[in-house]
Amino acid sequence: MANIKSAIKRNRQNEQRRLRNRVYRGRARTFVRKARLVIEDGKVEEARTATLQAIKALDKAADKGILHKNNAARRKGRLMRHLAEIEKTA
């Protein structure tokens, strides 16, 4: 437990930031998971919208500095590659 006033404030700020970051990271994970499931089902239109939602969530997390921009880019690339595969077969 911090005794110094500035350390107490720093702990409070870190906790608020942690919770905020958790929301953005969780939102990105959820949308990516949903997109993957829809892509596996082979529903092209739903997969396209779910993938776009996932990309938006990943971009937001990267913009806020929660995910590294290259990490977000890699995840988006993989999603788009899977989407392109099912669009090709459909």
What is the reported pTM? 0.88
CATH number at residue 85: 1.20.58.110
Burial of 16 (0-12, 13-18, 19+ CB in 10 A): exposed
- Say how many residues make up the chain: 90
Domain carrying residue 70: 5-89
- Count: domains in the chain: 1
pLDDT at 1 over 90: no
pLDDT band, residue 90 (cuts 50/70/90): confident
The pLDDT of residue 33 is 98
* Residues 29-39: tens digit of each pLDDT: 999 999 999 99
Share of the chain above pLDDT 90, in %: 94
pLDDT band, residue 46 (cuts 50/70/90): very high
SS3 38: helix
Which residue in this structure is represented by tokens 């099912």? 86
